[in-house]
Every structure is written in C-alpha cells, then in structure tokens.
Chain A
Amino acid sequence: MESSVPTSNRETYCNQPDEQGHFGPYGGVFVAETLMAALDELRVNYEKYLKDESFLAELDADLAHYVGRPSPLYHARRWSRELGGAQIYLKREDLNHTGAHKVNNTIGQALLARRMGKTRIIAETGAGQHGVATATVAARLGLECVIYMGAVDMVRQEANVYRMRLLGAEVRAVESGSRTLKDALNEAMRDWVTNVDDTFYIIGTVAGPHPYPAMVRDFQAVIGREARQQIRQQAGRLPDALVACVGGGSNAIGLFHPFLDDEEVAIYGVEAAGDGLETGNHAAPLCAGRPGVLHGNRTYLMEDGDGQIIETHSISAGLDYPGVGPEHAWLKDCGRAQYVAATDDEALAAFHALTRIEGIIPALESSHALAHAAKLAPTLDKDRIILVNLSGRGDKDMHTVAAREGIRL
C-alpha cells in the first residue's frame, strides 16, 4: 500500500481522486473482473456528461423544479441562544423532495442512466431513504426499478418498504449475512454483474469502486456550493465550522467539498457511537476501525482480527454501515477534517432539542451532527458560526423514537 503524504503546504484538497480513483492510499477499484467493464463504461460516461452542458442544464432544472433547490440555510437563533455560544445555521436538506439529501444523487445518476440507454435501475438501501429516493426518480423517468434491502431492515422500516412499492419499485429482501445494508449492497452488485447490459446501479453513498465515490460527491456537492454562497449572503463571511453526520458520508462530503480549501473553516464529521465507542456497539470506522478493503474500495472498516466485517450498531439505520467513503478516510489521515462520534443518547437529546426549540424534527442521522454542534457551540464565542447539515427530516423515525421511550404508536 502506498502511503499518503499529508502536507501542510498542499495547494488544494480538491484534486482527488487520481485517474484510478485513489484518494491517497484509499478508494480504488477492488471488484471481480466480471464488473470491470461495467465500471469502465460508467466512468467514461460520467466523465463525459459531467462536462456536457445539456446534461448539466437538465440536472439543474430537475434540482430546482423537482427537488426544490436551493434548500434554505436557516439560522437557528433560539437553539443557539439556549446553547449559549456560537450561532448555528442549518442547511435544510430535510426540505428536499423525499425528505433528505439522497435525491440530489439519485436524480443525477438516473439522468446519467437514461443518457447511457439503461432501462433498469437497481439500488441498495438500509433505512430505506436511498431506496425511496431511487424509486422516486425511477418512477418519474419510467425506468424499471429493483431495490435490495436487508430482511432485518425491511422489518425495521416497514413504511419505507410500502412507499417504495407504491412508487412502483420491486423491493427484494436480502437474507444473506447480517441481512442489513452491507448485505443489500453485496446483493445489488451481484444483480449488476448478472444484468450488466441493461442495468444501472445507483449507489447511495460515496463508497463503492471508482467512479462512485467521486461521482456521488460531485452530485452532492451542490449542498456545499449553495451553503457557501448562502452563509456569505446571510452572515457576510464563511463559517468557523462545518458539522455533518457520516455513515457512508455522502451528505458530509457534499457539504465539505466546496470548503476544503478554505482552511480557516474547521470540518467535523460525526460518526455513530451507538452505545458508546468503548462498548464496541457502534458504527464508527473512522474513530475506532482500521483500513481494509470492502465493497470495491480501500477505506476504514469495522472488522475483526481475521478481516471479517463485523455487525455495527446505531439507533440510526442510515449510519449503520461498517465502512465509510474513501475521501473521508483520506481527509482524516491528512488532518483536514476531524472525525468524532455521538452516541444514540446524545443524538436523541439533540433530536428532542431541535424539535422543541426550533420546531424542526430532524432525522436521527442528522441528529448525530446536531449533537456534536451542541457540544461545540458552548465552547465558542457568540459571534462564531457553526454550519450544520440537516441532512434529512425525522418523520421516518417516529416509531424508533417512540419505541425507545416505551411508547407504542
């Protein structure tokens, strides 16, 4: 393995990955030969259409009129006052069509699929948010859609399963391995290998083999581009800190990427500490894992001493993943971003705080970012600014929160 060379005098953090998809020693293409041609076809088309003005115009029009962009940047004044420190601004990805940032990416990939002449869309999903966002765009474009979902997750996220089926998607239960997100991803890859001629695989996060980590980042970077402009308009300057939750890390990289070269802006990615990092029941590979190879890329993983991937735990199904996007692994090693973790309890406390104080019910994923902002804000002066990515809304989490409090809905 080549070692990364973190330097303080680098010219830019925005020149990754290299042509083979490496972010320093991370990323790359680690798949069976059976997938290489499909990945190559995808890479060539992604590089082509990312520079194609008619494609970009189509994408922008959909983001504006179908998704509802730009999403607002909201100054959470009451919560900031309550916390007694820095001013907190929320990037309202929860207000997007389908209720989360996921659709930014599924729109982009589905339009690309159509340009490539693919008629069938597949995707993996954990909590169901990416599955819903994929089924949504497939419905709109009239593409056949199959969603792979772990059997365990299907029970936990019944409403989203129904939602996907309403949208016309076929939801296939995955019964292998731990029957959760990672196994759904394995199964979607197997489908892709088998049906590679007519099928486009929409991965939901910045993981997987090249070009997925770069492509998904590029589709999500609209979050950071808007936020950078909005905070300048509203506060007259860049924020002091960015905070976003990290499962696979797509909402986080989407916010972070346009700010990477603004070195005065501190960057915090918040992983799921579950019951606590010390208990081992968590989903925090950057904080408590080590580098390895899974799902087509080299990155930090949750694994045992024999290299087997271990089961993760988080109250938030969307963060319950044993890997993380390779660009985050690289940003961690070069020190440009700091990765911390929030426990289930801390996320729940932030969930309730935002709900009661600002009248915004956040997703449990986003609540991890809020929990870290709540720790950070009191340590900073009142004229400092923390910009948090509110990546999704919490409607989908009503059952989880209620059950945690012993309430049956």
Chain B
Amino acid sequence: MSRIAARFKQLRARGRKALIPYVTAGDPRPGVTVSLMHAMVEAGADIIELGVPFSDPMADGPVIQRASERALEHHTSLRDVLGMVRGFREQDQKTPVVLMGYLNPIEVMGYEAFAAAAAGAGVDGVLTVDIPPEEAGELLAALKRHALDAIFLLAPTTTGARIDSICRAASGFVYYVSLKGVTGASHLDLGEVETKLADIRAATDLPVGVGFGIKDAATAAAVAGLADAVVVGSALVSRVEALADRPEAIAPALAGLLAEMRKAMDER
C-alpha cells in the first residue's frame, strides 16, 4: 500500500479528514522549505503538497504565480525540489508528499529519470496540472514503475464520461477543483461541491480532496463535511508572501492557520 493510501486508511479509521497544505518549494527562498514542511506536519497536516516552480503557471492565480517567481529568482529547479523532499525524509518517513507542478520541467528531465529520482527522494504522488489522462500514457507508466501515485484534477465542468476515465487513471486520491477559475479565486459554492462529489464518488472509491477557494477555518470545516481531504494553497502562500522579508516568522504563521483549520475540521 502506498504511503498516501495508508494515510487515508488510517485517517478513516480515526474518523478524521485529511488536511493537505500546499506551499511552493523554494518560496521565498530554498533554505526555508524543509522547515516549513515539518512545521505544517506539526500543526496538523496529513499530506504535504509541494509546488514545483514553473515560469508559466497557467492554471494559477496571482498569489501562486508570484510564489513561483520568488522561487525562480533563486533558480529553484525540479532537482532542487527533489533534494528538499530528500531533506524532509531525513526526519519524517511517514507524511506523504505530493509534487504539484507543470509538465515541461518533467519533460526536460525525462519521464523515467524523473519518476526514478522522485521515488528515490521519497515523493509519494505527482499532480501534473497540464497533462490530462489522454496525453499521460507514458508518464503514467513511468510513475507506476516507481510506485508513485498519479493525482488528477476534476473540475466543475468535467462531464460524467471524463470523470470515469480520469478516476481510472488516478491513484492515491483525486482532487476536485471546487470552482471555475484559477487557484486562489473566491466564491466557493458548497451546494455545487456536494452535488459533484456525489458524481465522483459514484465513479471511484478513491478518496476525494477538494481545493481552490478554501481560505479559513470555517470553509475548511464546511468542506471537510463533504470531502475526504481539504487542500489549502493560496491562503498559506499569501502569508508566505507577506512575510517574505522575515522568513523566520513564516513557519509560525502557517502553523497558526493550519492549527485553526485542523481544530475546526476535527470539531465539526
């Protein structure tokens, strides 16, 4: 069983929903990322989603775009990100780590070389934003060879037939994008989320995470009532941005928000 599957099984047994924070690796500088990952686990994160910086993050809103830019000012490469995961694994062998990013850096490294290096570094899952299952055959095969889970997005506009084919290609969990738009947008419609999650659950037994638009403890708790996992990105990254000049203050700030979310999710 993969580390991700094991984690969801364990959470389910305890009646707990997964809290999945996202930060961009190398933001605001490469040296702080590993300590942020540990601080987030300490504050109640169950799985860490680590963004791989890319020059053209087409699906991201301004907050995560700027995080990529800060990381790229320090030339944070895919190899560097794998190094950070390796560093994290020196102290934490239990918390699953999912890489989230765009295809081109993986293309340049080569699918097989990437999958081997990621598995060797201690990565558990890979979410490549801009590769739909139709184009992903060879990448999926490489990930599978190295026992890495392939995480895919589902959108409000994803039709029934596509939900089936995406869920068949996915492993670990699937990630429902809770609104039309880019990361960090507002207007989360819980009614719409509930309806769509029912369609998704009819298609798969995989755990379902919900993200895009979860800003505070209240929305986290509300989403936890519907989904198996709550993904929080821009709300955290905007705190990183605000404290970019005081990196020592970032970990406590992220931990504070996550602890509030954790508490609200567990007490709902």
Contacts and interface: CB of A to CB of B under 8 A. Distances in A.
Interface of A: 1, 20, 28-34, 36-38, 176-177, 182-183, 186, 189-190, 193-197, 291-296, 301, 303, 305-310
Contacts of A296: 58, 130
Contacts of B107: 291-293, 307
A186 B105 contact: no
A293 B108 CA distance: 9
Interface in B59-77: 59-62, 65-66, 69, 72, 75, 77
Contacts of B108: 292, 303, 305-307
B106 interface: yes
Contacts of A197: 180
B19 interface: no
B22 interface: no
Interface in B172-208: 177, 180-182, 185
B158 A193 contact: no
Contacts of A291: 107
Given A194-B182, A196-B180, A305-B108, A189 B58 contact: yes
Nearest to B152: A33
B267 interface: no
B56 A186 contact: yes
B134 A34 contact: no
| Residue among B58, B104, B108, B138 having the largest count of chain A Cβ atoms under 10 Å | B58
| Residue among A195, A306, A310 having the largest count of chain B Cβ atoms under 10 Å | A306
B56 A309 contact: yes
A304 B105 CA distance: 10
Contacts of B61: 190
A1 B180 CA distance: 31
Given A305-B108, A307-B109, A32 B54 contact: no
Interface string B93-126: 0000000001111111100000000000000000
B135 interface: yes
Contact of A36 (B66, B77, B103, B132): B132
Given A30-B135, A196-B180, A292-B104, A177 B56 contact: yes
B157 A295 contact: no
Contact of A308 (B55, B58, B132): B55
B132 A177 contact: no
A194 B180 CA distance: 5
B72 A308 contact: yes
B180 A306 contact: no
A305 B75 CA distance: 11
Contacts of B157: 34, 36-38, 196
A194 to B, nearest CB: 4
B12 interface: no
B58 A177 contact: no
5 contacts: A32-B58, A33-B177, A36-B132, A176-B66, A183-B56
Contacts of A183: 56
A37 B77 CA distance: 32
Interface in B79-103: 79, 102-103
A33 B154 contact: yes
A321 B170 CA distance: 34
Nearest to A1: B138
| Residue among B69, B130, B166 having the largest count of chain A Cβ atoms under 10 Å | B130
Contacts of B166: 33
Contacts of A194: 180-182, 185
Nearest to B182: A190
B162 interface: yes
A308 B54 contact: yes
B181 A37 contact: no
A178 to B, nearest CB: 8
Contact of A293 (B66, B77, B104): B104
B158 A36 contact: yes
A307 B155 contact: no
A147 B102 CA distance: 25
| Residue among A186, A195, A310 having the largest count of chain B Cβ atoms under 10 Å | A186
A193 B56 contact: no
A20 B134 contact: yes
A193 B59 contact: yes
A32 B56 contact: no
B5 interface: no
A34 to B, nearest CB: 4
